[in-house]
Amino acid sequence: MNSLLQNYKALAIIGIVVLVTLFSSVKIVPETHQAVVIRTGQPVRVINQFRPDQPYGSTGAGIAPRIPFVEEVRMIDRRVLDIDMERTQVLSNDQQRLQVDAYARYRIIDPVKLVEKAGTELQFESQLLPILTSVLRQELGRRPFTALINAERGSAMTNITKSLDEQARIYGVQVLDVRIKAADLPEGRPLDAAFTRMETDREEEAARIRAAGQRDAQILQAEASAEAARIYADAYGKDPKFYDFYRAMQSYKQTFLKGEGQSSMVLSDDSEYFRQFKGNP
Amino acid sequence: MAGKNNPWGGGSGDEPSGEDGGDGGGPRNPWLPGGGEPGKRRSASIEDIFKSRGPEGPRRAGGGGGPTFRLPERPGGKSWLPVIAGGIALVWVAVSSVHFVQPGEQAIVTWFGGKYYGTLDSGTNFTAPWPVHMVEKLNVSQVRLEEVPGTKTEKLILTGDQNLVDLSYLIRWNISDLALYKYQLSDPQNALLEIGEAAMRAAVARQKLDAVLTGAGRAEIEQDVRMAMQARLDAYRSGISVQGIEINKVDPPGPVEEAFKDVSSAQQDADAAINRSRAVAQQTLARAQGDAREFNDIYEEYKLAPEVTRRRLYYETMEQILSKTDKTIVESGNVTSYLPLPELKRRAQAAPAQQQGN
C-alpha cells in the first residue's frame, strides 16, 4: 500500500515537472503582441513582428517554443498605441497663449530596438513625452495665433509628426500621427478678455439692431406721411377755393361742436348768416 | 432506568437520561463496546439528543445525511467515475465547440487565445473545443453612441473668428471589421473619442461663430467631422465605421450668454418698433384716404351746383354750431356796445330760457 502511494507520488511529481517544463517551453503570443525572446540578456529573436502587409491569421502569432528558464519572453504591443500629452501652454509668435492638448499615435515596428533602448512601452512613453512637448512648442511657436486655431493646423501637424517620428525611430517606433485634441485659451486673463470681446461685440450688435429698428420705424412713418400729403394734395388741389371753404366749415364744427368748453358768440346782425334775417333781399 | 436497557429508549429520553446511559449503561448497551472512548460516547449521546428534539430533529438529520451517504455508495460500482468524467468531457466539447452567434453579432476565433483563426458570422457555428479554439463574441452591427462631453459639462471650442462656443455632440459608430477592431488599436474607443475631438475642433475652427450658432454651418461641420474621422480611422485600419455625428447643443459660453440673449431681444425690440410705426403709418394713410374721399364726394356734388351746395353747407354748419352755442346778436352800425364779458359768462351759466327772454 505504502509503496504504491509512493510510486504514485513520484509519478505525480514527474508529471507536474513535465507539465511545467512543457508550459514554460511554450509561449502563446496573441495577435495583439509581438514577443522578443531574450536569452541571457541578449535579444535573440522576435515572434510575430509587425509587418504591414500581413493579414491576421498568417502572422507569427500563436504557440511559440522557447527554452525554459534560459529564454525570457518579453511581450511588446503590436497595435497602434497612443500617447496622451498633458495640457501645455504654447506661446504663438504674436505672444498669445494657448493651452494645447495633443496626442500621438504610434506603432512599435522594431521591438528589439525598443527593448534595447527603452525596455518597455511605458518607459518609452515617458521618454517620448518630453520630446513631443518640445517639438510641439517649437513648431507651434513659429506660427501666429490665428493659424494655431485655424485649419492651417494641417501643415504644422505634419511637420510635428515628421520630427517626432525621426526621434522615435531610434526606439524602433513609427509615429503615425500627432493631432491637437484641444486648443483652448488659458483660464484667467486671456479667457476673460475673449469673453469681454465677445460680450462687447454682441452689445454692439444689439445696439445696431435696435437703432436699425428705430430708423426703419421712422422711415415707415415718414413714407406714410408723404403718401398722405400726396393724397390730400391730389384731392384738394382740384379746387383750392372750395377746399378753403370746406375746410373752414369742418374747422368750425370741430372748434364749436367737438371742442371743449362752452362757447358764447357775439354776432353782428349784418353778418352773412343774418342776411336773410333782416328781410332785405 | 428504561433508557439504560433500550438504546432507542435512550434516544427518546431527555438530557439527563442520555448522560446516564453514557455513564453507567456501558456493559449492557450493545453500542458502547464499539465506541470505547468516553468522548465518542458523549458525542454519540449528544447526537441522540439532537435526534430526539421534536419531529424536526430526525427530519433534518435525514435530509442532511442523504447526499453524504449516497456519495460513498456510488463509488461502490467503481466504473462510474470514468463514465462521469467522460460525460463531462463530452458535454464540455459539445458546449464549447458549438456557438450560437446572435444576429448582429460576430465572433472572433483564435488558436489557444493566440493566433487568429477566423471570424464567425451570426448563426450556428462549430469550432474546435476550448481551449484549442477560443471564441469571443461581440455585437458588431449595433450602433454605439458616444456623447462628448458627458452631460452638464461645458466644452468650449474656439471658432475661426476666435470666439468660443459651448458645444456637445454625439458620435454614432459601429464595428465594421471585428478582427481589425480587436487587433489594430490598443484602445479603439479612446482612439475614436480623441480623433472625434480633434476633428470637431478643426471643423469648428473652420467656421465663424455665427455660422456655428445659427446652425447654418452645422451640417457642414457634422459632415466634415464624419469624413475626417473616417479617413483617420481608415488610416489606422481600425475596423470602426462612423455612422454619423450629431451636434447636440451649441450655446454661447455661460459668461456671455446674457449678451447673446440681448441680441435676440434687440431684434424683437426693433421688430416691435417697426410694427408700431407701421400701425401709425397705416392710420395716417387711411385717414388721408378717408378725408380725400369725403372731400372728393362732396366736391363732385359741389361741381354740379356750386352756389347751392356752398350755401347749403354753410347753413348746415352754422345751424349746427349756433344751435349749440350762446348767441348775442348786436345791431350793426354806429352802436359801440360794451360787452360785459363776466356777465355774459354768468348768463351763459344761467338757464337758456332767460337768455331768450332778453
pLDDT at A95: 87
Alpha-carbon distance of A45 to A48, in angstroms, equals 10
If we measure between CA atoms, which residue out of B109, B136, B142, B105 comes closest to residue B122?
Answer: B105
If we measure between CA atoms, which residue out of A81, A85, A98, A80 comes closest to residue A181?
Answer: A85
Whether the predicted pLDDT of B66 surpasses 70:
no
**Residue of B186, B285, B345 lying closest to A80 (CB–CB):** B186
Predicted confidence band of residue B255 (pLDDT cuts 50, 70, 90): confident
Alpha-carbon distance of A100 to A182, in angstroms, equals 6
Model's pTM, two decimal places?
Answer: 0.68
Question: Any CB–CB contact under 8 A between B300 and chain A?
Answer: no
pLDDT at B129: 83
Predicted confidence band of residue A148 (pLDDT cuts 50, 70, 90): confident
B125 bridge partner residues: B99
B137 bridge partner residues: B107
The per-residue pLDDT for range A163-205, each reduced to its tens digit, is: 999 999 999 999 998 888 888 888 888 889 889 999 999 999 9
Contact B310 A242 (CB under 8 A): yes
Question: What distance, in Å, lies between the first and last C-alpha atoms of chain B?
Answer: 155
A73 bridge partner residues: A37
Cα–Cα distances (Å) from B35 to B3, B50, B339, in that order, read 18, 19, 157
If we measure between CA atoms, which residue out of B242, B232, B202 comes closest to residue B220?
Answer: B202
pLDDT at B307: 87
Contact B183 A79 (CB under 8 A): yes
CB-CB contact of B47 with B73 (8 Å):
no
User: What are A90's three cell numbers?
Assistant: 504654447
Element (DSSP H or E) covering residue A37: strand A33-39
Site from B112, B120, B201, B264 to mutate, A interface, most A CB atoms within 10 angstroms:
B201
If we measure between CA atoms, which residue out of B99, B164, B95, B106 comes closest to residue B137?
Answer: B106
Residue A56, Cβ neighbours under 10 Å: how many? 20
Whether the predicted pLDDT of B354 surpasses 70:
no
**Residue of B115, B162, B259 lying closest to A194 (CB–CB):** B162
Q: SS3 helix, strand, coil % of chain A, rounded to 5?
A: 50, 25, 25
3-state SS assignment for residue A183: strand
Question: Any CB–CB contact under 8 A between B119 and chain A?
Answer: no
Helices B218-235 & B188-205 angle (0-180, nearest 10): 140
B 152-191 → A contacts, CB under 8 A: 156, 158, 160, 162-164, 179-180, 182-187, 190-191
- Give ipTM to 2 decimals: 0.76
Contact B330 A266 (CB under 8 A): yes
Contact B185 A153 (CB under 8 A): no
Contact A216 B265 (CB under 8 A): no
The per-residue pLDDT for range B130-169, each reduced to its tens digit, is: 878 888 888 888 899 988 886 567 788 888 888 899 999 9
Distance from CA of A243 to the nearest CA of B (A): 8
Phi, psi of B236 (to 5 degrees): -80, -5
Phi, psi of A68 (to 5 degrees): -65, 145
Cα–Cα distances (Å) from A271 to A247, A248, A267, B322, in that order, read 20, 16, 7, 13
Identify all chain A residues contacting B329, using CB atoms and an 8 Å cutoff. Answer: 266-269, 274
Kindly state the greatest CA–CA separation across chain B. Answer: 177
If we measure between CA atoms, which residue out of A130, A127, A32, A35 comes closest to residue A74?
Answer: A35
Alpha-carbon distance of B334 to A258, in angstroms, equals 35
Predicted confidence band of residue B8 (pLDDT cuts 50, 70, 90): low
3-state SS assignment for residue B327: strand
Residue of A nearest to B232 (CA): A177
If we measure between CA atoms, which residue out of A159, A140, A162, A128 comes closest to residue A96?
Answer: A140
Cα–Cα distances (Å) from A279 to A265, A269, A274, in that order, read 22, 11, 9
Mean pLDDT of chain B: 77
Contact B114 A231 (CB under 8 A): no
Question: What distance, in Å, lies between the first and last C-alpha atoms of chain A?
Answer: 171
Distance from CA of A153 to the nearest CA of B (A): 8
Q: What is the CA radius of gyration of chain B?
A: 55
Alpha-carbon distance of A40 to B95, in angstroms, equals 44
Alpha-carbon distance of A28 to B112, in angstroms, equals 7
